[in-house]
Amino acid sequence: MAVLKQGERQDLREAGASHSPATRDTLDWFHGGSWERRPTGHVEAGKDAVANPLVSVVIPVYNGERFVRQAIESALSQTYRPLEIIAVDDGSTDRSPAILGEYADRIVIVRQENAGVAAARNLGIANAGGQYIAFLDQDDLWDADKLEVLLAHAAPGDDVIHSNAREVDASGRAVRPWRQKPRRPGRPTFAELIAFYPIVMCTAVVTSKAILSVGGLDAANRYGTDDLELWLALGATNHCFRYVDKVLASHRSHEGNVSRNVMRILEGDQYVLEKTRQAYPRAFGREVQRACKVRMHRAHFDAGWSLYKSASYTLAARQFWTAIWYRPLGMKAWLYAMAMCLPFRRTVLPWLQRLLDALRRAGRAENGQART
C-alpha cells in the first residue's frame, strides 16, 4: 500500500467516488515519487460486497504506538464487507508510522503535519470513498460485529447510527459494562441532542453526505469536543439519528485521554454551543435555549465533582454554585454545594453520592414494577 501525504493525491471524491469498490482498487496512487497504477488492496471485500454499501473507517493517529495496533486489528476483524480502513498519521513522532507500515497492504495510510484530531478526521473523510464513514480512535476497540449490527438497523433516511460502548482501562479490562444512553427510544429532537444525548464517537456510523453537508469537523476546535460539534450541526440541520441499544465497542479511559480533562471539556461545551448558535440561529428556539441551560448545568456539576475528587474544594464549590445558576431547581447541585461548606466534606459527599444512587435505583425499580 502506498503511503500518501496531504496534497499528493487526487481527492477520492473526484477520482474514485463514482467507482465501485472493484474499480477503485486500480486507482492512481502516489508512490516512490511518481504516480503509478497498481492494486491498492485496501478494500476488504466479501460475499455481501455487491449488496452492501462501502464503509470507510477513519482512524486518526498521533503518537499512538501503545494502542493503535489493537484498534486496527479490531477494524480488520469486522464481519461487515465491503470495508476500507484509512489511518491518518497526524505528524506522529513515536513508532506509530512504523506500526501503520506493517498494515500497508491492507489499509490506506495518509500523513499530514500535526494539526489535531479534527483535521486528521477531515483528511480521512476527504480520502474516503464510502457511503458511510465510521470513526475509530487510536485507543478504542470495536466488537467484531459492530458495523454489521449497526448497518442492519439502518433505515432509509438515517444519517447517524450509533450504539452503546463499554468503558475499559489501559489494559483493556472493563471498568463499566456500558455508558449512559439516551433516555428515550426514537429519534431525538435538537433540544434533546443538546441537553443530554450521549453519542460515543467510536460507535457512530455517519453517511458521508451528511458530514459533507455541514462542512466536516471543526479543525479549529482544540477542546476535544469536535464530535459534539458535529452532532449538533447535524441536529440543527434536521439530520436523523438512530440509537441501537447494544454494546458494540470499547471506549478506553486512560491518563492520555482528552476526555478526562473535565475543565477542558467544559470550555469545549461552551465553545460548541456558542458556535452552533451563531451558525444556526433559527434552530435556537425557547426549548433549545432551555436545553442549553440544562447541558451547562450538567457540565458544571460534573466539573465540580471531578474537582472535588482531586481535593480542589474551593474550585469544586464554585462549579456547583455555577451549576445552580443555570438550573436553580437542581436539588442535587444544592446539596453538593452546601456539603462543600462542611468541615467533614471529604466523607459527606461520597455518602451523599451513595444515597442519591440508591434512591435513583429504587425509583427505576419502582418504575419497572409499575410497567409490568
Residue 129: per-residue pLDDT: 96
Question: Does 254 score more than 70 pLDDT?
Answer: no
Q: For the chain, what percent of residues have pLDDT higher than 70?
A: 79
Between 332 and 44, whose confidence is greater? 332
Question: Does 305 score more than 80 pLDDT?
Answer: yes
Fold of 3-263: Spore Coat Polysaccharide Biosynthesis Protein SpsA; Chain A (3.90.550)
Length of the chain: 372
Q: What is the pLDDT of residues 95-133, one digit of tens each?
A: 999 999 999 999 999 999 999 999 999 999 999 999 999
Residue 49: per-residue pLDDT: 54
Local structure of 177: helix, strand or coil:
coil
Full DSSP string of 132-159: EEEE--TT-EE-TTHHHHHHHH--TTEE
Averaged pLDDT score across all residues of the chain: 83
Rounded distance between C-alpha atoms, residue 69 and residue 172, angstroms: 13
Residue 25: per-residue pLDDT: 35
Residue 29: per-residue pLDDT: 34
Q: What is the pLDDT of residues 175-203, one digit of tens each?
A: 887 777 777 767 889 999 999 888 999 99
Question: Does 37 score more than 70 pLDDT?
Answer: no
Closest by Cα among 62, 55, 205, 212 to 135: 205
Would you kindly state where each structural domain of the chain is located, as residue ranges?
3-263, 287-371
Full DSSP string of 23-80: HHTT-EEEETTEEEE-----EE--TTTTTSPPEEEEEEESS-TTTHHHHHHHHHT-S-
Rounded distance between C-alpha atoms, residue 361 and residue 353, angstroms: 12
Relative to beta strand 205-207, strand 132-135 is: antiparallel
Q: Which helix (H) or strand (E) holds 93?
A: none
Q: What is the pLDDT of residues 49-85, one digit of tens each?
A: 558 999 999 999 999 999 999 999 999 999 999 999 9
Closest by Cα among 279, 164, 114 to 213: 279
End-to-end CA distance of the chain: 57
Rounded distance between C-alpha atoms, residue 24 and residue 14, angstroms: 12
Question: Does 372 score more than 90 pLDDT?
Answer: no
pLDDT band at 30 (very low <50, low <70, confident <90, very high): very low
Compute CA distances 337 → 74, 309, 344, 349, 371, whole Å: 44, 14, 13, 10, 35
Residue 236: per-residue pLDDT: 96
Query: What pTM does this model have?
Result: 0.80
Q: What is the pLDDT of residues 13-28, one digit of tens each?
A: 433 333 333 323 333 3
